[in-house]
Amino acid sequence: MKKHKSNKAWMHEHVTDPFVQRAKAEGWRSRAVFKLMEIDEKDQLLKPGRVVVDLGAAPGSWSQYAAKRIQPGGLLFALDLLPMEPLAGVDFIQGDFREDEVLRRFEAGLGGRPVDLVLSDMAPNMSGVQLVDQARVMDLAELTLEFAREHLKPGGDMLVKVFQGSGYMALREAMRKVFEVVQVRKPAASRDRSAENFLLGRRKRAVPLP
């Protein structure tokens, strides 16, 4: 009964959410687009000609927005374990970005061009157990940082979703070794009661700090 009430409350909140309504009206795939949009307007991450990677991209609202912002001349690669409906200007690769075959396809698509920006709005399937969910979210953030270490050009940027809690400060410290500047962003579309925020790494160091 409690779970039923909780689901009903979530559904009511979802359908009355102004960001959900705006996303539908404007043709975006999810309300999450407004998180990236606000951060981009503040920090100017997306510019014509940039090469961008969107990790955990499905259903695709971040890719949908970013692909428009980096034209003309930009490239956008969307990677996810889940399928995603095609988007104009987006090269989608389904699979685990840690696997050699997925990386091979991604690197072939780059054609030698350097990556300017790594985006990740990835979240695991939530169990409802706070400690478990926190560990899963931070694991995905660490995988994003590792991907950026390997593939992002010196001077490039990374934006990653995190939850404040266990492992959060350790990740910020790890990012400081890779990026010259690490900033925290909490866009309006992140619900107030959520521990979600975003860490923005600016200007990847040519040589990481020890």
State the catalytic residue, choosing from 3, 5, 161, 186: 161
161 assigned to active site:
yes
Q: Is 60 annotated as a binding residue?
A: yes
Known binder of ligand: residue 91? no
Cross-strand partners of 182 = 201
**28 marked as binding residue:** no
Q: Is 95 annotated as a binding residue?
A: no
Q: How far apart are CA 197 and CA 177, in angstroms?
A: 20
141-158 CB burial, b ≥16 within 10 A, e <16: bbbbbebbeebbeeebbb
Neighbouring-strand partners of residue 79: 55, 93
192 is in an annotated binding site: no
> What are the catalytic residues?
161
Residues annotated within a binding site? 60, 62, 80, 96, 121
Residues annotated within a binding site for S-adenosyl-L-methionine? 60, 62, 80, 96, 121
